[in-house]
Amino acid sequence: MCDQFTLFAEIEWHIIQSSKFRFNGQEVTSKEYIPGHKIKWNRDFAGPDGRSYTWVGDMYISKLKLNEGSNPLIAKYQRSNKGIIGEKRSAGLEVFEEGYHMLDIIVMTFVYVEKLRKDYETSVYVAAASG
Protein backbone atom coordinates (compact mmCIF):
# COMPACT_ATOMS: atom_id res chain seq x y z
CA MET A 1 0.00 0.00 0.00
CA CYS A 2 1.38 3.38 -0.99
CA ASP A 3 0.31 6.47 0.92
CA GLN A 4 -0.09 9.59 -1.15
CA PHE A 5 -0.47 13.05 0.27
CA THR A 6 -1.35 16.29 -1.43
CA LEU A 7 -0.39 19.67 -0.04
CA PHE A 8 -3.58 21.73 0.01
CA ALA A 9 -2.47 24.71 2.11
CA GLU A 10 0.47 26.27 3.91
CA ILE A 11 0.63 28.83 6.68
CA GLU A 12 3.83 30.85 6.94
CA TRP A 13 3.84 32.00 10.55
CA HIS A 14 5.09 35.49 11.47
CA ILE A 15 5.21 37.22 14.83
CA ILE A 16 5.59 40.88 13.89
CA GLN A 17 4.01 41.02 10.45
CA SER A 18 0.95 39.17 9.18
CA SER A 19 1.22 35.43 8.66
CA LYS A 20 0.68 34.21 5.09
CA PHE A 21 -1.69 31.60 3.70
CA ARG A 22 -0.95 29.72 0.50
CA PHE A 23 -3.82 27.72 -0.99
CA ASN A 24 -5.59 27.24 -4.32
CA GLY A 25 -2.66 28.88 -6.14
CA GLN A 26 -2.90 32.12 -4.21
CA GLU A 27 -0.99 33.79 -1.38
CA VAL A 28 -2.73 36.15 1.05
CA THR A 29 -1.85 37.63 4.42
CA SER A 30 -3.82 36.77 7.53
CA LYS A 31 -4.71 40.45 7.83
CA GLU A 32 -6.36 40.29 4.39
CA TYR A 33 -7.91 36.83 4.58
CA ILE A 34 -8.96 36.28 8.20
CA PRO A 35 -8.62 39.61 10.02
CA GLY A 36 -9.15 40.19 13.70
CA HIS A 37 -12.62 41.06 14.94
CA LYS A 38 -14.05 43.47 17.49
CA ILE A 39 -14.64 40.43 19.67
CA LYS A 40 -11.23 39.01 20.65
CA TRP A 41 -11.62 35.37 19.58
CA ASN A 42 -13.69 35.90 16.45
CA ARG A 43 -12.21 35.77 12.94
CA ASP A 44 -14.11 36.39 9.69
CA PHE A 45 -13.18 35.04 6.26
CA ALA A 46 -14.73 34.48 2.84
CA GLY A 47 -15.21 30.87 1.81
CA PRO A 48 -14.54 29.54 -1.69
CA ASP A 49 -18.29 29.90 -2.32
CA GLY A 50 -18.01 33.68 -1.75
CA ARG A 51 -20.00 33.52 1.50
CA SER A 52 -18.88 35.03 4.80
CA TYR A 53 -17.96 32.76 7.73
CA THR A 54 -16.86 33.48 11.31
CA TRP A 55 -14.89 31.41 13.79
CA VAL A 56 -16.46 32.21 17.17
CA GLY A 57 -14.76 30.93 20.26
CA ASP A 58 -13.51 31.07 23.78
CA MET A 59 -10.90 29.13 25.76
CA TYR A 60 -12.74 25.80 25.43
CA ILE A 61 -14.87 25.71 22.29
CA SER A 62 -14.62 27.13 18.76
CA LYS A 63 -17.52 27.20 16.32
CA LEU A 64 -17.55 28.08 12.64
CA LYS A 65 -20.77 29.79 11.60
CA LEU A 66 -22.12 30.99 8.28
CA ASN A 67 -22.92 34.71 8.43
CA GLU A 68 -26.35 34.33 6.83
CA GLY A 69 -29.86 33.70 8.06
CA SER A 70 -29.86 31.99 11.43
CA ASN A 71 -26.05 31.62 11.40
CA PRO A 72 -25.98 27.85 10.86
CA LEU A 73 -23.18 25.90 12.51
CA ILE A 74 -20.63 24.62 9.96
CA ALA A 75 -17.97 23.15 12.28
CA LYS A 76 -17.24 22.83 15.98
CA TYR A 77 -14.07 22.12 17.97
CA GLN A 78 -14.08 21.06 21.60
CA ARG A 79 -10.97 20.73 23.70
CA SER A 80 -10.41 17.54 25.64
CA ASN A 81 -11.69 17.21 29.18
CA LYS A 82 -10.00 14.86 31.65
CA GLY A 83 -13.31 14.33 33.44
CA ILE A 84 -12.32 15.90 36.76
CA ILE A 85 -15.06 18.48 36.29
CA GLY A 86 -17.66 17.58 33.68
CA GLU A 87 -17.82 14.71 31.25
CA LYS A 88 -14.55 13.11 30.05
CA ARG A 89 -13.99 13.56 26.29
CA SER A 90 -11.28 13.66 23.66
CA ALA A 91 -10.60 16.79 21.65
CA GLY A 92 -12.10 16.87 18.20
CA LEU A 93 -13.03 19.00 15.21
CA GLU A 94 -16.47 18.11 13.89
CA VAL A 95 -17.41 19.38 10.42
CA PHE A 96 -21.08 19.29 9.51
CA GLU A 97 -22.44 18.47 6.05
CA GLU A 98 -22.86 22.17 5.18
CA GLY A 99 -19.06 22.52 5.33
CA TYR A 100 -17.99 19.46 3.32
CA HIS A 101 -17.49 21.51 0.14
CA MET A 102 -14.73 23.53 1.83
CA LEU A 103 -13.19 21.04 4.23
CA ASP A 104 -9.65 22.11 3.33
CA ILE A 105 -10.40 25.78 4.10
CA ILE A 106 -12.09 24.84 7.38
CA VAL A 107 -9.03 22.86 8.49
CA MET A 108 -6.62 25.61 7.40
CA THR A 109 -8.52 28.40 9.19
CA PHE A 110 -9.07 26.19 12.25
CA VAL A 111 -5.31 25.56 12.56
CA TYR A 112 -4.74 29.32 12.37
CA VAL A 113 -7.32 30.34 15.00
CA GLU A 114 -6.38 27.46 17.30
CA LYS A 115 -2.70 28.48 17.22
CA LEU A 116 -3.65 32.06 18.06
CA ARG A 117 -5.74 30.79 20.98
CA LYS A 118 -2.93 28.58 22.27
CA ASP A 119 -0.36 31.37 21.94
CA TYR A 120 -2.64 33.68 23.93
CA GLU A 121 -3.25 31.02 26.57
CA THR A 122 0.51 30.45 26.93
CA SER A 123 1.18 34.18 27.29
CA VAL A 124 -1.45 34.43 30.04
CA TYR A 125 0.13 31.52 31.95
CA VAL A 126 3.63 32.99 31.59
CA ALA A 127 2.44 36.42 32.77
CA ALA A 128 0.66 34.88 35.76
CA ALA A 129 3.70 32.79 36.70
CA SER A 130 6.07 35.76 36.52
CA GLY A 131 3.57 37.80 38.38
Tell me, what's the pLDDT at 125?
61
Statement: the pTM of the whole predicted model exceeds 0.95: no
Print burial letters for 42-73: b (CB count within 10 Å at least 16), e (below 16): ebebebeeeeebbbbbeeeebbbbbeeeeeee
Q: What is the pLDDT of residues 8-51, one digit of tens each?
A: 999 999 989 999 999 999 999 999 999 987 777 799 999 999 99
Show the DSSP H helices in the chain as ranges: 30-33, 103-130
Of the two residues 57 and 10, the one the predictor is more confident about is 10
